[in-house]
Amino acid sequence: MVRAAVLPAVGAPLDITEIDLPQPGPGQVRVRLAAAGVCHSDLSLSNGTLRQPVPAVLGHEGAGTVVAVGDGVEGHAPGDRVVLNWAPSCGECHFCAQLSEPWLCMNANAGTTVPYARTGKGEDLYPGLGAAVFAEETVVPAGALLPLPGGVPLTDAALLGCAALTGYGAVHHSARVRSGESVAVFGVGGVGLATVQSAKLAGAGTVVAVDVSPEKEELARRAGADEYLIASETTAKEIRKLTGGFGADVAVECVGRGETIRTAWNSTRRGGRTTVVGIGGKEQQVQLSALEIFHFARTLTGCVYGNCDPARDLPVLADHVREGRLDLGALVTERIGLDGIPAAFDAMLAGRGGRALVVFE
């Protein structure tokens, strides 16, 4: 039995309780978690914005140590330090094999619909986004683990599993920020802060961070933001003033709201690029006229998991961390236990803080 944060039903409060976690079967690995990040996607799973079978153990951003492996597992052994990959690519579908776009793998989330453990009452329990890291230990397919290079603290490494990879990929793979370009980042939670750091890493010129909370200015500036704006009806106009009257070369939207996406689009120059990282509900609509699409010649694109190949990109990020170019600790605003996850959800709803990190004893 291990302690976990269980979502008993969509929209219900989390239940911090013990679950019955089996030993790993063929091709599976059991991991003792060192830390797990509380991501807005977990909140979206809990309230039904994203689909998730229940009851479930949420949490998809984590790092820990292998404690047991099932039959047929190669490349992992007890004692290995690993990062969880919540969207492991199958390597065989059209997107993986033909297009070399593993972040769009058709089978990446197949594990979310397969029970992996049982509640204390004997009910089938599902793994949130296939990872279920809001627990002391989890069992996942071997392909869902990434070796953690040396020199990276195991607790901070949890951020590599989602926030850091997503922010880095949004800048380097989706928006393709070039040296000297101006970048506007909308929403400075964990992913937004990682995006700000990654923009500076890419050699961006002016980086403007935008959020609804005045309290996040210090976090944003510490991450590398040159300017900080409180979101308002004049945000796009203010960004144009800060970028020579033209607008930002690149905008990265990390919120997932139709209104914010529209503002990000409006904030870019003619020919500018807007990358949407935030995950919104289907009711969030963005309306563009045919004339403005032609006139402004801007690009609006979605971005899944930072358009990253985690096996390729995680070692690159680990090197940046070791060399001091990327500060994972700066993304964390609170270190909590399992009992603190509901309050962390409330903070996200209120627009407070960066990344809350669940740290296990």
- pLDDT tens-digit series, residues 268-313: 999 999 999 999 888 999 999 999 999 999 999 999 999 999 999 9
pLDDT at 148 over 90: yes
- Asked if 154 and 19 sit in the same domain, the reply is yes
- pLDDT tens-digit series, residues 319-343: 999 999 999 999 999 999 999 999 9
pLDDT at 361 over 80: no
- Asked if 185 and 297 sit in the same domain, the reply is yes
Q: Is residue 334 part of a domain?
A: yes
Q: Is residue 42 part of a domain?
A: yes
Return the percentage of the chain with pLDDT > 90, whole number.
91
- Asked if 152 and 172 sit in the same domain, the reply is no
pLDDT at 93 over 80: yes
Token output for 342: 């509901």
- Asked if 28 and 89 sit in the same domain, the reply is yes
Q: Which residues of 44-72 are buried (b: 16+ CB within 10 A; e: fewer)?
A: bbbeebbebebbbbbbbbbbbbbbbbbee
- Asked if 9 and 132 sit in the same domain, the reply is yes
Question: How would DSSP label each residue in 150-170?
Answer: TTS-TTGGGGGGTHHHHHHHI
Find the angle CA(123)-CA(57)-CA(313) to the nearest 5 degrees: 140
pLDDT at 26 over 90: yes
- Give residue 64's pLDDT band: very low, low, confident or very high (50, 70, 90): very high
Q: How many domains does the chain have?
A: 2
For 176, phi and psi rounded to 5 degrees? 50, 55
pLDDT score recorded for residue 353: 75
pLDDT at 154 over 80: yes
pLDDT at 57 over 80: yes
pLDDT score recorded for residue 348: 87
**Residue pair 328/157 in contact by the 8 Å Cβ criterion:** yes
CA 331 to chain CA mean position, Å: 12
CATH code at 299?
A: 3.40.50.720
- Asked if 48 and 143 sit in the same domain, the reply is yes
Instruction: Return the higher-pLDDT residue of 148 and 351.
Output: 148
pLDDT score recorded for residue 354: 80
CATH code at 77?
A: 3.90.180.10
pLDDT score recorded for residue 2: 96
pLDDT score recorded for residue 49: 87
- Asked if 148 and 11 sit in the same domain, the reply is yes
Average pLDDT over residues 53-66: 96
- Asked if 45 and 111 sit in the same domain, the reply is yes
Region of poorest pLDDT, from 41-55, 204-218, 223-237: 41-55
- Asked if 113 and 66 sit in the same domain, the reply is yes
pLDDT at 265 over 80: yes
pLDDT at 316 over 80: yes
Residue ending a domain, among 288, 303, 318, is 303
For 208, 291, 314, the CA distances from 243, given in Å and listed in that order, are 9, 24, 32
- pLDDT tens-digit series, residues 30-44: 999 999 999 989 999
Orientation of helix 40-47 relative to helix 341-349, angle to 10°: 90
Give the domain extent around 214: 168-303
Secondary element (H or E) of residue 43: helix 40-47
Q: Is residue 52 part of a domain?
A: yes
Q: Is residue 246 part of a domain?
A: yes
Q: Is the pTM of this model over 0.85?
A: yes
Average pLDDT over residues 216-244: 96
Residue ending a domain, among 266, 288, 303, is 303
Q: Is residue 317 part of a domain?
A: no
- Give residue 349's pLDDT band: very low, low, confident or very high (50, 70, 90): confident
- Asked if 345 and 273 sit in the same domain, the reply is no
Q: Is residue 320 part of a domain?
A: no
Q: Is residue 308 part of a domain?
A: no
Average pLDDT over residues 193-221: 96
